[in-house]
Structure 1
Amino acid sequence: MRIGILKCGQSPEVIRGELGDYDTLFERLLAGRGFEFTSYHVEAMAFPASVHDAEGWLLTGSRHGVYEDHAFIPPLEDFIRRAYAEHVPMVGICFGHQIIAQALGGKVAKHPGGWAIGPQDYDFEGELVTMNAWHQDQVQERPPGATVLASNDFCENAVLAYDDRALTVQAHPEFGDDFIHGLLDHRAKGVVPEPLQDAARARMGGPLHSAGIADRIEHFLKQPRASMAEARRGVA
């Protein structure tokens, strides 16, 4: 199955050579599951010609806010709406989670409670799941048709499902503790309050449920779907 990775940003250059860019992280997360990958650096305006250039799409994180004025955001929202209308499945992570929500009518804003960084616990359909997070923005208002699959007290809309067309996750299943350490060392100073940095460092080293989230992503992307023609006739 061909998955197109839409790179909405890049990992910090100072750790990119050692730990990889965002597309590399997802290729590792989903390795051995029968996927082939093609990356498009949409932040640099390198877009696919069609939503059908891949059988599914994965939208990465980014240092940008989805509500900011960047040239790549309007065409990315258009792409999302086309893929959604044509039933081409999408997975969105962090920025990807937020831009899908915004493109489909939701609202994203900085959370008044501040940042979530490092390991965070979520209630995922009754299962306790731990993932690394790194965000201040989050989905404040869900778009029509979005269903909450996971949440916690800090982030109500932590995982959203849009029937069989999109699955989006606010946290970062692709981030290991080594990547969070890199962000703490090179991006947190003067931005993230020191008590939050200390708490994140103290909690790292415990189990993460990255493999379980990869299982869910694989199942979502590979599940049987009606053809586009059937969907348009109202069969789906």
Structure 2
Amino acid sequence: MENIGWKRFGVLICAEDSEYVKNIYGGFFGLFTKMLEEEKETWDMYKVSCGEFPKDDELNLYDGFVITGSCCDAYGNDKWICDLINLIKKLDSMNTKILGICFGHQVLCRALGGKVGPSPTGWDIGVRSITLSSHICPSSLDLPTKLSIIQCHKDEVLELPTEAEIIAKSDKTAIEMFKYGDHIMGIQGHPEYSKDLLLHLIDRLTQRNFIMEDFAVGARERAVMLEPDTNAWKRLCISFLKRNPKFVQSKSTC
């Protein structure tokens, strides 16, 4: 029997799970449901990087979607990336909530008319403190001005779409978070990651020659310098997806 009155969300998986991620965390889908799932909700998984997408006539059944990270470039033209961009445009026209993480943050920007590319300062791997906009709502979240988040990316948002707004920055990346309307938000960092998973990914990147060993040593050192504000990020993401239609407002109304 269908769960009447339950909310429904979809996770658009943009990366292949390693055996470690599957065994320890239940895959990337497990990472996001652990962070975001609450009672009376249904969560579906779509492996969009493998060509699995929700059907057009089912989109109105969803309260929101999450777009995950990926090893692929958000400015690439693989068929699945182009199909994902078309899906984002459809969801935007429906004012459906979308939360984009890392690659998801970047591909949202591209789909909405912004520009994405390699970071001019190179890889960012570790735990970094970012500065939030002073008018993120609701005030009941009681968020500090700065939050630490795990980073693992070499690309970034270079130019925002028209009408989008920066809501967080760091000393390395000018656009750590953005929002577009009241229904789309991108986060460059990984609120769903643990430090254990970060260290695993550093090893994988080294083994696949994406980063050199001397850089990996520095990344491991940076990984232990700060603790990510996991609970604060969980509250912030849940609030955006499920609670507040006016997540970011002018200072005078917050």
In 1, the alpha carbon distance for the partners of 2:154 and 2:69 equals 13
Q: Does 1:10 align with 2:20?
A: no
Q: 1:193 to 1:33 in 2, by over 3 A?
A: farther
What's the secondary structure of 1:207's corresponding residue?
coil
In 2, the alpha carbon distance for the partners of 1:133 and 1:196 equals 14
In 2, the alpha carbon distance for the partners of 1:32 and 1:207 equals 25
Percent of matched pairs sharing the same residue: 28
Mapping of residues 152-171 of structure 1, within 5 Å: 152-171=170-189
**What amino acid maps onto 1:68 in structure 2?**
G
- 2:234: which partner in 1? 214
**Match for 1:113 among 116, 121, 141?**
121
What is the Cα deviation at residue 47 of structure 1?
0.6
- 2:86: which partner in 1? 78
Q: Is the 8 A contact 1:23 1:39 kept in 2?
A: yes
**Match for 1:139 among 157, 166, 172?**
157
Tell me how large the CA RMSD over aligned residues is. Answer: 1.9
In 1, the alpha carbon distance for the partners of 2:117 and 2:70 equals 15
**Match for 1:204 among 223, 226, 234?**
223
Mapping of residues 1-236 of structure 1, within 5 Å: 1-32=7-38, 35-50=41-56, 51-125=59-133, 127-189=145-207, 190-205=209-224, 206-223=226-243, 225=245
Q: 1:34 to 1:91 in 2, by over 3 A?
A: farther
In 1, the alpha carbon distance for the partners of 2:121 and 2:223 equals 22
Q: 1:225 to 1:101 in 2, by over 3 A?
A: same
**What amino acid maps onto 2:10 in structure 1?**
G
Deviations 1:52-78 (A, max 9, x none): 231101000111001223111111111
What is the Cα deviation at residue 224 of structure 1?
5.2
- Structure 2 stretches lacking a partner, 5+ long: 1-6, 135-144, 247-254
Q: 1:111 to 1:33 in 2, by over 3 A?
A: farther
What is the Cα deviation at residue 158 of structure 1?
0.5
What's the secondary structure of 2:237's corresponding residue?
helix
Q: 1:211 to 1:10 in 2, by over 3 A?
A: farther
Deviations 1:82-112 (A, max 9, x none): 1111111100000100111000001110012
- TM-score, with length taken from structure 1: 0.89
Aligned length: 226
What is the Cα deviation at residue 196 of structure 1?
3.6
Q: Is the 8 A contact 1:22 1:61 kept in 2?
A: no
What's the secondary structure of 1:188's corresponding residue?
helix
Deviations 1:21-77 (A, max 9, x none): 211111111244654311111111111013223110100011100122311111111
Q: Is the 8 A contact 1:19 1:179 kept in 2?
A: no
**What amino acid maps onto 1:209 in structure 2?**
D
What's the secondary structure of 1:75's corresponding residue?
helix
- TM-score, with length taken from structure 2: 0.83
- 1:234: which partner in 2? none
- Structure 1 stretches lacking a partner, 5+ long: 227-236
What's the secondary structure of 2:121's corresponding residue?
coil
Deviations 1:116-172 (A, max 9, x none): 001011001251111111100100011112111111121111111112110110000
What's the secondary structure of 1:138's corresponding residue?
strand
What's the secondary structure of 2:60's corresponding residue?
coil
Q: 1:123 to 1:196 in 2, by over 3 A?
A: farther
